[in-house]
Amino acid sequence: MPNRLASTTSPYLLQHANNPVDWYPWGEEALAKARAENKPIFLSIGYAACHWCHVMAHESFEDSETAAFMNEHFVNIKVDREERPDLDAIYMQATVAMTGSGGWPMSVFLTPDLRPFFAGTYFPPAPRYNMPSFKDVLSGIVRAWKEQPAEILRVSEEVTTHLRQALNPNLPADAAFTQAHLDAAVKNLLDSYDWGYGGWGTAPKFPQPMSIEFLLRRHSQGNTDALKPALHALHFMARGGMYDVVGGGFSRYSVDNFWRVPHFEKMLYDNAQLARAYLHAWQITGDPFFERIVRETLDFIAREMTHPLGGFYSSLDADSEGEEGKFYVWTLEQVRETLKDESEFFEAAYGITFKGNWEGKTVLQRALDDASLAARFKLDLETVPAKLAGCHARLLAVRNSRTRPATDDKILTSWNGLMLAALAEAARLIPPDDDDTKSASLLLAPLNTNYHSLATRNAEFLLSALRPNGKLRHAWREGRITNEVFLDDYAALIIGLLELYQTDFQNKWFAAAKELADEMIELFSDPSGGFFDTAQGGSQLLLRPKDLQDNATPSGNALACEALLKLAEFTGQGKYRDLAEKALRLVVGMATRYPAAFARWLSAADMAGGNVKQVAVVYGRAEQGQSEVGGENASALIRAIQSRFLPNVVLAVSAYPPEEDAPALLRDRPLKENKPTAYVCEGFVCKSPVTSVEELKKLL
């Protein structure tokens, strides 16, 4: 018989709806029961694509004997960390404090007033891995609850005090970021870089798109050392293994140092951030390899992670048919059967053998580069990428007939905002396919209409389905929304909308971003600086978190800071800049010492101190029924700006005079000599307006 999770929206919770455990979702019913019966709460936090969450569920939560003991002695609450990042942040901090590490599944025991007193992650069904069994843990907690209540109270108070200091820190404001701080952060990243295999840290090895983006920014500001590690990491990650060379897109992380064997789950937020990093690398270098990775990753999102209404799904599971990675790996026989006469070429490219490179199978990772393949098979170098692409397409067709990993099809505003920004940029940068040069903005710069369509449909969906009655919400699934909303939902969506505005220059995106920013300030501002992660008026939380550190996704505070800095440039309103600068002062010391943990902050600091250029382009408003006057020349001016990697440039475009809801940056910008005109301002000084691409490039 299904338990209470059967009525929830989360795919992760629904996976446990038929457990014999009497699970409750987080809410007043469960919390009131714990208080009334004076029972400890067992809080289990995970997510749908989590392999070890599935393992623990099968071993323990589906076991009737274990479930009976849990039901008798505990109030059992199951939480999807992706729907409730606030709860995840609080109790992950507690888990790390008590055990020295964290992860999912997260297993935390709470007093009825929500204070944690014991925590761990995965527990096996029998003692192994030098770990107690889950049954032993449960029995020990029950004995302590009955026999040592004073000790439980002491521990819970100590941990709660730690949480208040860690998650709602009363930090003294430092001096503002300087170029010296940013240079020191770059040096720290360079000193810790793995030049052998790419990236930072050791196994398990995670992609670091925020660190890479910060290094690309510093390169654009003249730091000659910053580019090499960024490009090196991007090349190594995209060789295959963690990158899906057959179908596009990145897995969550590599279990080894070589980026070869991934943890096979695919997360929306990773692919959004990595696609954008590769896009910027392509802008800087012009290397078609980077462009190909962007296209393949975004095409994967369009094909496998897009809801018909326009939202993007959260993740794809690591497992299929009960085995991790089964959907993605190959045997030599399967490759030969699929590729026939092309197999020898492909085997050489990927070093495929009968033995395989992982549990008797092969995770595809490039062994020979294009030049080596061309020499070995006596091919023109230019033909190698196309020949490989043909092999990939044939393998993908075969792979599509396999049993697919499960899809976590809930749609999260924050993660969708990250993908919206990536797609909006790609729409204006990636050349349109074939001769598809239709523009979504009359005669302005041609767009890649595939990516632009994905971006606009996503923005419309987020602003309607996830903003019912004008109130933004965090999660949507099958027409149902959650009640919560978080800081990163607002901030990521604002950034995505501003990128979309700078792609098609439709004022409605800018107007929505500004409206959301004003709401964000009202709901989340902390008078001491920065923002809380949860909205004012929330309840059923031990404390109101304010997590400043970037994790796999950017800190909501870092995103809010970036969004407000950009809005300040578009609007000229100092209040946005003031709030951003006040927030930045909270992390100067930490970001300089631990740049990988504060890299999105560092990018915001780079913008705050980088002499942002405000560019306005205006062109003649056509008579009714006619084309825009000089639109083609306006397009040339726009392309001169957008074709280069200029992260500290904001661009507003309009026919003259601008509409009322256009950015204030466009006001009082008349045409020069009745031609499309570009205005460039920097550091409170505006240059003389120009009408030619050559003059504009000099100003940039």
In the structure, how many helices (H) and strands (E) does the chain have? Answer: 26, 19
Q: List Cα–Cα distances, 453 to 155, 439, 458, 462, in angstroms.
A: 54, 11, 8, 14
Residue 19 CB-density burial (10 A; 0-12 exposed, 13-18 middle, 19+ buried): buried
- φ, ψ for residue 62 (rounded to 5)? -95, 0
pLDDT at 630: 60
pLDDT for 425-434, tens place per residue? 999 999 987 6
Confidence band for 406, pLDDT divided at 50, 70 and 90 = very high
- Domain boundary assignment for the chain: 4-167, 328-399, 613-699
* Rounded Cα–Cα distance for residues 603 and 551 (Å): 15
pLDDT at 424: 98
Confidence band for 610, pLDDT divided at 50, 70 and 90 = confident
311 C-beta neighbours (distance < 10 Å), count: 25
pLDDT at 446: 80
Q: Report the DSSP beta bridge partners of residue 24.
A: 77
**Global pTM exceeds 0.85:** yes
What's 4-167's CATH class?
A: alpha beta
pLDDT at 626: 43
Q: Are 109 and 42 in contact (CB under 8 A)?
A: yes
Q: Are 121 and 43 in contact (CB under 8 A)?
A: no
Sign of the CA dihedral running 501, 505, 507, 508: negative
pLDDT for 324-337, tens place per residue? 999 999 999 999 99
- Which amino acid is residue 36, in one-letter code? A
Angle at 495 between CA 491 and CA 501, to 5 degrees: 145
Angle at 696 between CA 692 and CA 700, to 5 degrees: 170
State in Å, rounded, how far the first CA of the chain is from the last one: 66
Q: Are 368 and 349 in contact (CB under 8 A)?
A: yes
Average pLDDT over residues 661-679: 95
